[in-house]
Amino acid sequence: MQNSNLYESFMALSGCRDNNAFNVISLEGMPHKLGISREKFPMFFVCTNNSSGMIQNSIRELLYVEYNIECQVVENNGDMVEDMFTIITLRTLEKHLQIYFIDIFLMMLKKLPYEPSKRELSVEIEKLVTIFSALTNPPRKKIQGLWAELLIIERSKYPEVLINAWHTVTSSKYDFTMGRDKIEVKSTSSETRIHKFSLDQLNPSPNSRLLIASTIVRESGKCANGLSIKGLYDKIMAKLSSIEAKLQLYKVIAETIGSDIVKLEDIYFDYITASDLLKFYDYQYIPRISKDSVPNDVTEVKFSSNLTSIEDIQDPNSDFDPDNSPLFKCLF
């Protein structure tokens, strides 16, 4: 998403030459190359040091990883280089996936030494495999729900804190967790601020502190106020300095949206309205069903609550103090 110029340069490459040499682009400040296969798949040619140790090749649905491959590459200036490389190929012609692959793996390479060991490289490749394996799975959350979570991150004072607290499992009870402090994000497209909750969500453990972030999200089309998930992602990335935070951001998006990744640029929501209508509520004041009132043999209780008349914790009259919580304090 960030390296559009590099992607355009990749697309301008022709496939293998008659002598089976690969046309490649040199990566700035690195010995590694970005090339193109005969099928037009993107390929990274990674230089590793001579440390001993054998790493097995890996073939997955989208990724093909080959270690210790001797091959010829032809650089931008026409120079031919013959060397040993680790080759990582993304086996798809889907434009969005190719862009994300180039963007993410380039970030991973920047974390590594100039010429990493095969072991160091394999650790990052496994993370890459995890991300791209998730992109073949069914989506676990609707686009609107993910967009609302990204809005909270983008609007926060310290987005890296929220990214580190973001759910590592999409089935988590709460969207953001840091110790005893939790944030659950709710969005609706209706005029009334009514949200659905599970019994457990509004009945946290006794020592927990829970905020409900609520906003009204409306599809807007591609207009001045409209932002897609990609648009929010780009705004957040511009605020991040940590490569780890950037990779975690993409990892959670991939695991949440799965095969719907191609829709990241297709659906737009009104960013201005959602930002203006964003409110935060102390869960204790939200109408709810208590666990004590539910019979022992009744499970999976869900209900809707109207938050319209509840005081926002940002109201001057609110007695809620976010300053003694690193999680809550990063919001404002």
pLDDT, average across residues 197-208: 94
In the prediction, which pLDDT does 152 show?
A: 98
In the prediction, which pLDDT does 4 show?
A: 65
In the prediction, which pLDDT does 218 show?
A: 93
pLDDT, average across residues 122-145: 87
Residues 30-44: tens digit of each pLDDT: 999 999 998 999 999
In the prediction, which pLDDT does 165 show?
A: 96
Question: CA-CA distance, 305 to 286, in Å (whole number)?
Answer: 7
In percent, the amount of the chain with pLDDT more than 70 equals 97
The overall average pLDDT reported for the chain is 91
pLDDT, average across residues 312-321: 93
Neighbour tally for 110: CB within 10 Å: 12
In percent, the amount of the chain with pLDDT more than 90 equals 71
In the prediction, which pLDDT does 1 show?
A: 42
- How many residues are present in the chain? 332
The DSSP code sequence of 96-128 is HHHHHHHHHHHHHHHHS-SS--HHHHHHHHHHH
pLDDT, average across residues 316-326: 92
Residues 203-242: tens digit of each pLDDT: 999 999 999 999 999 998 887 789 999 999 999 999 999 9
- Quick check: 128 and 105 in contact, CB under 8 A? yes
pLDDT range class, residue 140, cuts 50, 70, 90: confident
Rounded to whole angstroms, what are the CA distances from 117 to 29, 168, 219? 18, 28, 47
